[in-house]
Amino acid sequence: MQSKFINHSQNTFLKISSSDSMQLTYTDSIEQQRTFAFTVSFNGRMDMYSDLDTVAKYLDAHEGWFCRCAQPMKVEPVADNGYILTVGRFGSFGYEVEPKIAVVLNPPIDRVYLMQTIPLPDCDEGYEVNYRANMRLEEVAGNVQTQSQGLFSKQITMPQRVTKVNWDLDLKVKVEFPQFISKLSPNLIQATGDRLLTQIVRQISPRLTYKVQQDFHNSHDFPMPPKSSRQLHRVPHPQQYAV
């Protein structure tokens, strides 16, 4: 996560201007730093119109679909089953961050797929990202569904077997702030960081889910499931402050 407000290579703190725009700039300091932890959790689901074995075979070959479906994020393969992701630029409270993490997709165990962060090579940006997600496959019988589209509804005939991909993710980011930042309300700092993480997940996850569904069904010449087959829910967390 490239950051314009944290730099491990020197002692700095954020200078807050008196303007309403709340601009944040570097100022030399030897103040003690404080660490805040920002955490979000989500769960969700996507349906695949095929049997479990076919879906599992597709997911196992992640070196193909992951790079295709992660766009427009930048993806760089690293080590065995690993990838470096540059998420994009996000800003809040007068500064911008460019999240960058390394993840590994572990081989499945009993149809459970685990993705988690690994150390990012040559990265020391004053933050720590801990990402963990798992996907569980469940095969169910297909049936006829009714899908509403505006004022109209239509019946959709599903295949005989449908595989539900249920998933959970936990994302925790620790960021070092100088003591000077305590002039701001901890509630404000916490809410801003949590909101930014939520924004990142809500932008990336639905797009990635849709692209994976589309890639799988197109590659197998299967009909694309409706929007209702993709779900995303945030799991509430108690507030956290400086650690």
Note the pLDDT of residue 93.
Answer: 53
Band (pLDDT 50/70/90 cuts) for residue 190 is: confident
Query: pLDDT tens, 6-28?
Result: 333 333 223 323 333 333 333 33
In a domain, 241, yes or no: no
61 lies in which domain range? 2-235
- Residue 240 domain flag: no
Q: Which of 30-34, 41-45, 86-90, 220-224 has the highest mean pLDDT?
A: 41-45
- Classify residue 70: in a domain, yes or no: yes
Q: Check whether 187 has a pLDDT greater than 90.
A: no
Nearby residues of 81 by Cβ (< 8 Å), 6 or more positions away = 62, 104, 105, 106, 107
Q: Does residue 107 fall inside a structural domain?
A: yes
CATH of residue 197: 3.30.530.20
Q: What is the pTM of this model?
A: 0.76
pLDDT (0 to 100) of residue 126: 67
What domain count does the chain have? 1
- In this structure, is residue 219 part of a structural domain? yes
